[in-house]
Structure 1
Amino acid sequence: MSHRPVLLWILASDAFGGGERLSQCCLRGLSRHFTVHLLTQRPLAPHFTPMPGLSVHYFEAYGLTLPHDYRRANVLAYAAAILDRAEAVGAHLIHATMHNASWFLAVARLRHPRRTRHLALVGSLHGSLAGYYQAERGHPPTARVRLGVWLAGRVLDGIITPSQGVATELAHQFRVPSARLHPVHNGVDREALAALAAAPCPQLEGIAGDDPPCRWVVSAGRLAAQKDFETLLWAFARLADSHPQWRLRILGSGEREPALRGLARDLGIAPRLHLTGFQANPYPWLRAGDLFVLPSRYEGFGLVLTEAMSLGVPVMASDCPWGPAEIIRHDRDGVLFPVGDVAALAREMDRLMGDAEARRVLAQAGRARAEVFSEAAMIAGYARVLSRVGGLSHVP
């Protein structure tokens, strides 16, 4: 009979992305310390049901299919489902992943203080809310959003963030008590990453056979305003004539694809732009890059940077809120440039595209730096926070 504490992990999501991938990694590791249950949406079942030692439950069993609907009745129903499942599995702790689940968990405590009195409730906010609203909505977070984050920060026992920057933003802009904020950097399983990067990729092999061989600037992410791929296209266009052997490849899909293709045509670089679309395994493409650039307007951490660094690709990133500046030490193991600054990005790209030795040195330093951001360190960080907040001193 197991005497390990019971952890209920909430993932109110119906699509697989960064937060879902992080949950996979954490749940694999935390199952060594906790009896782990996952409450999620049924579309994510294929990503979690094969995991040994993990019991998976679904919001659909409660008739809930809209995890991003914030109308009152839906929020209350999700909060009630979380508490019902926690009581059914005998949970000691509940961890909610990302903003929506954290809000559902906060509402559960606000509505049911007696039922949650003996539970440790931990949320997690994985990105810059201020950056999101400014980039996606064109204005700062609304008063209603600020109030919601402020309340969550006071009723939850802790909030995990992927970077110190996100924690600082929550403390300064949303007045979340600093004592309840726990930065834990995202991590990479280097062995698993290397295996994925070495997997056969016929599409890539066909392109790699081009004669003469090309050099590739690579980027990756959802084709959305957040990633600001427009700045990358403008910078690349400035260098197209002086670096004729270079091409630009962007891994990902999204609503900005037609606009990016149109901009590439207007800039005269369409023949040298390769939009791969969604790639279930992007790592062979990533490893094949000669220079990786992340031009985001905002991030929560920037895990793809550590992945590129682990694969030995030299990296550049915007000094955006938040994450890249915690990963990259400028001109030591990567290059930082101001957000949206086409001239600065073009200048740094020009320097590295024209200097193979500088790229080699930067890649070597980046690979060493990436060792700091390991999956093992991330899992240990989550275990420490959850055990501390839950008063479980016997958990490592």
Structure 2
Amino acid sequence: MTDAVAIELLADRLRRAGEHAAEQGTDVLFLTPGTDLRYLTGFEGSSHERLTCLVVPAAGHRAPPALVVPSLEAPGLAGLPLEALGIDLVTWTDGEDPYLLVSDLAGGPTRVAVDDDMQARHVLGLRNAFPDVPQSLGGAVLRELRMRKDPAEVARLRAAGEAIDRVHARIGEWLKPGRTEAAVAADIAEAIVAEGHTEAAFIIVGSGPNGASPHHDVSDRVIEAGDVVVIDIGGPLPDGYNSDCTRTYAVGGEPGADVRETYSVLQEAQERAVAAVRPGVTAAAIDRAAREHIAAAGHGAHFIHRTGHGIGLDVHEEPYIVDGNDLVLEEGMAFSVEPGIYQAGRWGARIEDIVVVTADGAERLNRNSRDLVVV
């Protein structure tokens, strides 16, 4: 059951979603199960072939929000504070057309929006129910809320960061010459869950040349003494908020001078990017703070991805820290700062922390050393 404080927050989010929809000229917002629906109501279910859909009228419309669900799913919603949030529960049974039911509840809109991750079967079902009404993506509405974290969300992200830091602190127990990447990943996955995550959503163990592939995952490659290893791990806590942290390790002794010199460039780039985070600067400026330092050291061609991504109920969400994104940062925005240098066929390195924009700067949510760790 959602507690009273959370209900107050959910009610405020629902109200503001309607206001943002109105500001963007959207009459009704349709949300199927996923993180957008969880953000507004606390609903944690999955989307199936039977339609479950939250109907959110724009501010100024007289109809209340309504959650349309199959009758057989209704008993599982007993813990949701629908009445407290002013959401009508509307059920349908097999043989009825739920899209026409949604159409009746929407009340003749002239423009509707669907959540970004809605299944195509439901998008098309709603389109058939509103054949002459333009559809747009609801992410444009919800992003205005979700990328500005409230204090409760920041606290949850902070807890996630602390939990994944505790896993990184134990990497030396498992990362040893003679073991495969897959074996190391299995130990990490167990520790991630033991530290309070519901699952290990992703684990990258990129050893030697595999570390030069930013999204390598894991393989049966045997880790060798002298390898540089990129380990990028994370997942959700029970409240749905995610961790995501990358550290780079040297296995079996001190690395060579070229590795140390290149890594020092990367570490300084990450420091400069974090130091640049504050209200009023753009997302693109944070990317430039890291990228220009790496390029000046001759590694510009080896930094092959954006500097960061937002994080919350999704591991990747707005805002994206990338060249060309002129979004002005505001207090409460949370995102990764994770520059990398990748030398194809040889090795790679990445340093990733989650940061939250504060009133006058940034708070790192990952506190482990960002030095090249020798194990």
TM-score, structure 2 as length reference: 0.32
Indicate the structure with greater strand content. Answer: 2
TM-score, structure 1 as length reference: 0.31
Q: Greater CA radius of gyration, 1 or 2?
A: 2
